[in-house]
Amino acid sequence: MAKRWIAGLVAATWLVAGCSSNGGTDADTTTTKAKAAETTTTSPDAAAGKEFQALAETTDGAIDDEATTRDDFAAQNDLDGAIDSTRDLRNDLFDFDAAVRALDISDEHASEVNDVLTATGRYIEELDAFLDLTDIPAYNDQLDAETTVRDDWTTAVNALADSLGTDGIGTEDPTGDDTTTTTTTDDEVVEAGGTVTDGTLSMEVPKGFTGSDGATIQMEHESGATLGIYSVYPETATTLEAVAKESAEGAADKNGDVITAGPEDLEVGDFKAIGYSSKAEDGTLIVDIYFDTEVDADNRFRVITVEVAAEDIDTVMSAVEAAAPSLKLN
């Protein structure tokens, strides 16, 4: 039987949250908060926002250019040419993904960054699907699927751009006027006990949380804690153990977090899982539960990420653990 989350990760996280490694006092905490405030004043996100805006505009332009090229092939009934043109766009999206990962964006935007990376990965998957097609009807059906993921990608990009204070990418008005718009969604709020889905996975909303359907599963607890389920795209790792270690250590190194527990063998739904917990500089506790869906080679590994204040860790993680068995593939 897998270890219970509270007995392993959460308990270890709670101990670290309750006492500093050097026996620090409240004065230490005050100093840390003051330093954090200074950092916020000189936030690097302004520069990162400009870089992201440029990346988004370049990639959006590449998408439009490739669509024009593909339409030219389609007009000539050149199926092979149309399919082959998707390779260039696929490479552009891979470059975009790598560039976004390299940006120095603060942890407060982690949810939006993960949404962009997940949407980009799904866009690439749908482009890959063109390579197996052999007839025009199937090609036309795949175009519909591509339109959906492009819309999701645009939504995610604009959400991160808005969070970083930049303009985002525009959509072309049917009248021919180019207008810059931010894509909005009217996702219905799902209360605790209901089910949310990202189209591939679904999960019951834990007690005290609300959620909504979308490109990624996102939930918020009444305490302000957040839960998200994201895709993980490892650089070199191929096993769950290696993916979890590589991802946890990489995230901690990038964000300046301290890993406080893990790896722990866990279970989420029918999936084998491995958990890590860490502590951010501002005291926020982060619990990452990595799991292997074992069915999708390009989008196989996922992570449940919970960010929560120390005083709420037991309540929040008990609710998440209780709902975890409901996680399943659609």
Mean pLDDT of the chain: 79
User: What mean pLDDT is predicted for residues 196-222?
Assistant: 88
Rounded alpha-carbon distances, angstroms, from residue 223 to 9, 14, 95:
20, 17, 38
Task: Delimit the domains of the chain by residue range.
Answer: 6-42+185-329, 45-179
Distance CA 288, CA 291 (A): 10
How many other CB atoms sit within 10 Å of the CB of residue 94? Answer: 13
Structure tokens at 164: 């970083």
- pLDDT on residue 226: 93
pLDDT in tens, 5-42: 554 555 555 444 444 334 444 444 434 443 444 444 44
The answer to whether residue 66 scores a pLDDT higher than 60 is yes
Q: How many helices and strands, by DSSP H and E, does the chain display?
A: 8, 13
Is pTM beyond 0.75? Reply is no
Task: Report, in this order, helix, strand and coil percent for the chain, each rounded to 5.
Answer: 50, 20, 30
- pLDDT on residue 96: 92
For 98-107, 161-170, 229-238, 300-309, which range has the lowest pLDDT when averaged over its residues? 229-238
The answer to whether residue 171 scores a pLDDT higher than 90 is no
The answer to whether residue 4 scores a pLDDT higher than 60 is no
User: What mean pLDDT is predicted for residues 130-155?
Assistant: 86
pLDDT in tens, 45-62: 788 888 999 999 999 998
Cis peptide before 137 (omega within 30 of 0): no
- pLDDT on residue 299: 66
The answer to whether residue 67 scores a pLDDT higher than 60 is yes
- pLDDT on residue 194: 93
CATH placement of domain 6-42+185-329: 2.60.120.1690
Task: Categorize the per-residue pLDDT at 297 as very low, low, confident or very high, splitting at 50, 70 and 90.
Answer: low
pLDDT in tens, 75-132: 667 888 888 888 889 889 989 999 999 888 888 888 889 899 999 999 998 888 888 8
The answer to whether residue 263 scores a pLDDT higher than 70 is yes
